[in-house]
Chains A and B, each alone.
Chain A
Amino acid sequence: MSESYKAKERVVYVGDSRVRKGNMPNVPADYTSYPGKSEAFIPNFLLKEWMVGCVVLVGFLVLTMAHPAPLGYPADPTNGAFIPMPDWYFLFIYQLLKYPYLSENYVVLGTIGIPGIAFGALLLAPFLDTGKERRFYRRPIASSLMILSLIACVYLTKVSWDHYTHELEKTNTIPEHIEREEKAREAAMAGKERPNYTKQPELPAVVDAGDPATSIIQAQCLSCHGTEYEGRGNIPPLRGVGDKYSKEEIAEIVTNGRGGMPAFGEGKGGNVELSAEEIDQVATWLAKQKAAAE
Chain B
Amino acid sequence: MFKTVYNWIDERLDITPMWRDVADHEVPEHVNPAHHFSAFVYCFGGLTFFITVIQILSGMFLTMYYVPDIINAYASVDYLQHKVAFGGIVRGMHHWGASLVIVMMFLHTLRVFFTGSYKAPREMNWVVGMLIFFIMLGLGFTGYLLPWDNKAYYATKVGIQIAESVPYLGPYIQELLQGGEVVGAQTLTRFFAIHVFFLPGALLAMLGAHFLMIRRQGISGPL
Contact = CB atoms under 8 A, between A and B. Distances in A.
B70 A75 contact: yes
Contact of B218 (A28, A132, A150): A28
Interface in B124-173: 126-127, 130-131, 134, 137, 140-141, 144, 147-155, 157-159, 162-163, 165-167
B149 A126 contact: no
Interface residues of A, number: 83
A38 B119 contact: no
A69 B24 contact: no
A119 B127 CA distance: 11
B22 A26 contact: no
Please report whether the interface of chain B is mostly helix, strand, loop or mixed according to DSSP: helix
A136 B43 contact: no
Contacts of A171: none
Contact of A56 (B50, B116, B144): B50
Contacts, number: 233
B26 A89 contact: no
A123 B123 CA distance: 10
A22 interface: no
A97 interface: yes
Shortest beta-carbon contacts, A-B, top 9: A134-B116, A36-B29, A84-B154, A64-B92, A69-B95, A75-B153, A28-B218, A126-B123, A72-B149
Interface of A: 26, 28-32, 34-42, 44-45, 48-49, 52-53, 56-57, 60-61, 63-65, 67-77, 79, 82, 84-90, 93-94, 97, 107-108, 111-112, 119, 122-127, 129-136, 139, 142-143, 146, 150, 176-177, 184, 194, 196-198, 233
Given A41-B27, A93-B162, 12 more contacts: A31-B27, A38-B29, A40-B24, A52-B46, A64-B89, A69-B88, A71-B78, A74-B74, A82-B151, A142-B113, A176-B151, A184-B82
